[in-house]
Amino acid sequence: MKTLLICPSPRPSVRPLAEAFPLALVPMFGQGLVEYWLTHLACSGVKQVHLLVHDRPECLRALVGNGVRWGLTVEITNEASELTPAELLIKYDQQCGPAPVQNGIAMLDHFPGNPQKPLFNSYAGWFDSVRAWMPCAIMPDRLGFREICAGVWVGLHSRISPAARITAPCWIGKNVFIGPRTVIGPGAIIEDGSFVESDAEIVESYVRPDTFVGQCAAIKNSLAWGGTLINWQTGSAVTIHDAFILCALRRPKRAKNAGWLERVAEICTRNKEESEVLLKDLLINKESSS
């Protein structure tokens, strides 16, 4: 009765998304993808979850812990590389015997129940999938959000000017400031802690947490990723050098990779065959970085 979840490694097609966060933790409506999946599995009656992580496992451990927040038992394993579901099934059977994985294997590259909308193949696919998930983002464990009118969700401690024009569908996170005469939506997703000055326009676009959008700035069909603007239709990106137009209010903390000794200690807890593979990989990486 265990579900195996494969957390994705960085994808070249959406590389900037994974610069500050593993893809499983990129904020979408204030939560990472792994959080939506764990809530979904808990509501489905699953009791045990095993996360297979190649990219920055310490970030997943810091957020997920042992799974008690969801009423789950969660185990996290650091993999030497990202496995496919077929590879994982073979590895699981070799280590644990022929007992079936009754709740299945899933790659965390889509929202729960939406495999037809992959997240990480392109910016257009990412935005389309995220926009479609907007009505589903308020899962049973989410508190503090309210639907102020049909299709417009707002988080706690956000201030919206009465002179702003808000058009559904639209998501405004927690601690967001929306200035007067702004045009927000349709299809606007503004994450927690962002500040949008007067007369700005955000349409069919995503604004990353803690982002400043300046007066009269127009963001359309784009991802505002700190000081970078990515057109999700074409994939083109431009860096905005004028902080009065667009900038990050604070830089997200980058997770430090586990040190060499920490990795050795973790490897020593594995079975012999897996440890030999991981130790070999670790030594190669250490030699190449020396």
> What is this structure's pTM?
0.83
The pair of three-digit structure tokens given for residue 178, joined into one six-digit string: 């929306």
Amino acid in position 37: W
Instruction: Please report the domains of the chain, with CATH numbers, ordered by start residue.
Output: 2-121 (3.90.550.10), 146-248 (2.160.10), 260-289 (no CATH)
Q: Count CB neighbours of 194 within 10 A.
A: 25
Q: What is the pLDDT of residue 261?
A: 47
| pLDDT tens digits along 193-227 | 999 999 999 999 999 999 999 999 999 999 999 89
Give the confidence band of 140 by pLDDT, cuts at 50, 70, 90.
confident
Which residue in 38, 48, 45 sits closest to 1, CA to CA? Answer: 48
Tokens linked to 126: 């990412």
Q: Rounded mean pLDDT of the chain?
A: 86
The predicted structure's pLDDT at residue 219: 97
pLDDT at residue 5 in the model = 94
Read off the pLDDT of residues 187-199 as tens digits, 9 standing for 90 and up. 999 999 999 999 9
